[in-house]
Amino acid sequence: MHSTIFDTPVVNTMLRGLSRVILRAAGWKVEGELPAHAAKSVLIAAPHTSNWDLPFTLMLAFSLRLRVYWMGKASLFRMPFGGAMRWLGGIPVNRSQSNNLVAMSAQALKDADGPMQLVVPPEGTRGKTRHWKTGCYHIAREAGVPIVLAYVDYGRKVGGLGPVFQTTGDVDQDMAAIKAFYAPIKGKNPHQFET
């Protein structure tokens, strides 16, 4: 995977401190920590209802000392912002093409030297949707890594890492259990989020 802001020691340290100050000043709390056995993992990013989710996710990642990569729609990576988005850990996803993203993502997790957390929004969009995509589940399963239930709860002004979830192979049952965790969590635009 490409180098990111999370691999840049001085900048990473400064942004960790700045993120903590901004979150605290805005009244936000950070919860949880990444267990050692989940150093390589898929982080579910839900609910995803606003453009504000990315800055909050990045501040939480700095605060929690994570090394995240996140998937975003390809249009975010056009000039002039493409380089900056990649440096922030972004991976462009062209939703109009079938490109075996699950296999490529799973292989990247397997090949990563050291910790790597891949952030995937199961809704696939910040707009209202009733159906969650299961790519995050299949990436974790194929890579042999756990899923960490990450969240940004605008209702309580709390963000962080919830339980670590091991896939069983029963995608319907597992996704139902994952969705149950997110049911009480409020997105920035809660009318757009349904589990």
Q: How far apart are CA 136 and CA 138, in angstroms?
A: 6
195 belongs to a structural domain = no
pLDDT exceeds 60 at position 125: no
Measured from the Cβ of residue 25, the count of other Cβ atoms closer than 10 Å reads 8
Residue 39: per-residue pLDDT: 96
Band of residue 130 on the pLDDT scale cut at 50, 70, 90: low
Q: How many domains does the chain have?
A: 1
What is the percent of the chain with per-residue pLDDT over 90, rounded to a whole number?
Answer: 54
How far apart are alpha carbons 74 and 79 in whole angstroms?
11
| pLDDT for residue 15 | 95
Structural domain contains residue 64: yes
Structure confidence at residue 124 (pLDDT): 52
CA–CA dist 159, 60 (Å, integer): 7
Mean pLDDT of 137-151: 95
Of 136, 157, 151, the closest CA to residue 182 belongs to 151
Domain containing 101 equals 5-190
pLDDT at 36: 95
Question: For residue 38, which amino acid is it?
Answer: A
- pLDDT-derived band at 123, boundaries 50, 70, 90: low
Which pLDDT score is estimated for 67? 94
At 189, the pLDDT band (50, 70, 90 cuts) reads confident
Query: Would you tell me how many other CB atoms lie within 10 Å of the CB of residue 184?
Result: 11
Q: Is residue 162 part of a domain?
A: yes
User: pLDDT category, 21, cuts 50, 70, 90?
Assistant: very high
- Cβ atoms of 146 and 38 closer than 8 Å: yes
Residue pair 95/76 in contact (Cβ under 8 Å)? The answer is: no
Task: Report the C-alpha gap between 115 and 129 in whole angstroms.
Answer: 32
Could you tell me if residue 22 is inside a domain?
yes
**Higher per-residue pLDDT: 103 or 33:** 33
